[in-house]
Amino acid sequence: MSMRRSLRIGNISGFYGDRLSAAREMLADGPIDVLTGDYLAELTMLILWKARQKDPSAGYAVTFLRQMEEVLGTCVDRGVRVVVNAGGLNPRGLAEKIRELAKRLGVKARVAHVEGDDLLPRLGELRRAGNTLAHLDDGRPFEAMPVRPVSANAYLGAWGIVECLKAEADVVVCPRVTDASLVVGPAAWHFQWARDDWDRLASAVVAGHILECGAQATGGNYAFFSEVPDLEHPGFPIAEMEEDGSFVVAKHPGTGGLVSIGTVTAQLLYELGAPSYANPDAMARFDSIRLDQAGADRVRVSGVRGEPAPSALKVCINYAGGYRNAMTLVLTGLDVDEKAAVLKRAIVRRLGGAERFGVLQFHLAPTQHPDPETNELASATFTVTVKDADANKVGRAFSSAITELALASYPGFYSMEPPGDASAYGVYWPTLVPADAVDHVAVLPDGRSVPIKPLEVVTRSPVKLPPAVLS
């Protein structure tokens, strides 16, 4: 069989709020076959849930729509496929918005989406089936928490994406799939890899892991940042995938940043636990990875060994934790510890006692210098944080009470911000469910739904890993 040509997969987003111009730049600066974008952190699911409380038709990354308005026509004209997880909590809604955008632009775009990650309506069913939804860090069963979950999403794999691309989708909108699966899907589709081709799938998992955080692979957040040219505007990363699973990490010539063994290694290790990195598509042995500098801004990745996919999927549950507020005060001059003690006693008394709140915390950051030459160098910060289920307790009643101390406390009192209101916060709960308990579905451009069943493998790897290496 003749070898298929390499596949150039470029990343255009590492988080919800990343550089809006990345998609346009990726297409303008050089050839590309697939655009991928990661928009979903665990916190993002809570942000999208809040958006849906205001507008039930929301729940997706609206910035992706803005990016597509600039490049959708170019992508269709050039045959560039787009695969993103910007669908968030509403992939069907975002897919429809893309169709509306295409119609308005006069572009004939085939749009598909993936669904089935949303387990919120099924949590009771899963618990009745014997799944305790135990917390991955400490084993607590979720039913022990007196809270109402607001989102619960399984991390799906790549095979729904594969089905959409086989149906000639130009744009594939995904919900909560793993970050790496956005790269595994296009690679498995293009090279027609089998679902048990563990080594090549695992190599694509490694490629996806390198690309998923955008410019972090091209010098962003790099410890040795002084080595990175034009860090003011680094280019986004590209994986040039080969049929055997090996690939080259690169960026478009002439763009800022750096692709080196150092930048790639830093990205590989940023959320690593055990040597086997778990993904729904394969377990990648990170202790088998070989990196070679293959030229300027080109790092070849080879030798990746894979193991069968785990039998369980990670699930991100978010629940409403209540309300919080904080104020940061500045302690100036000498006797900082004594001033902090006076302030703490005054705040507790002014608020009516620490026991009135779910949480009342104090944090002193002693940043002052022993012989300061300026007021700034003679200052330390003292942060007061409060949390409670009652928004009124931690709202203006809290911040105004602290402000009232301004002329009646330690010398040099001032605050870093005006008194403000409380804000709601959420809590993240990572857990696992059996892979066969999740109804993974690909919805093709013609509207047909194709169920994606888990691959039955006797030698499936059990999941005994910390949550970070499952994301």
pLDDT reported for residue 470? 41
Residues in the chain: 471
Q: Residue 298: which pLDDT band, with cuts at 50, 70 and 90?
A: very high
Whether 467 and 136 have beta carbons less than 8 Å apart is answered as yes
18-45 pLDDT, tens digit per residue, is 999 999 999 999 999 999 999 999 889 9
Name the nearest CA neighbour of 114 among 94, 135, 97.
94
Averaged pLDDT, 78-85 = 98
First-to-final CA distance of the chain = 35
Provide the angle, in degrees to the nearest 10, between the axes of the packed helices 181-191 and 198-211.
140
Q: Is 467's pLDDT higher than 70?
A: no
Average pLDDT, the chain: 93
Name the nearest CA neighbour of 199 among 307, 351, 358, 52.
307
- Number of Cβ within a 10 Å radius of residue 92: 16
Q: Give me 129's structure tokens.
A: 């089936």
Domains of the chain: 7-117+155-309+455-470 (no CATH), 320-427 (3.30.70)
Reported pTM:
0.91
* DSSP 8-state code for residue 86: T
Q: Give me 22's structure tokens.
A: 């990345």
Structure-model confidence comparison of residues 451 and 273, the more confident one = 451
Q: Is 149's pLDDT higher than 80?
A: yes
Q: Give me 469's structure tokens.
A: 């290496």
pLDDT reported for residue 461? 57
CA distance 322 to 390: 7
Structure-model confidence comparison of residues 222 and 144, the more confident one = 222
358-415 pLDDT, tens digit per residue, is 999 999 998 767 788 888 888 999 999 999 999 999 999 999 999 999 999 999 999 9
Whether 180 and 203 have beta carbons less than 8 Å apart is answered as no
Averaged pLDDT, 210-224 = 97
pLDDT reported for residue 384? 98
Whether 280 and 309 have beta carbons less than 8 Å apart is answered as yes
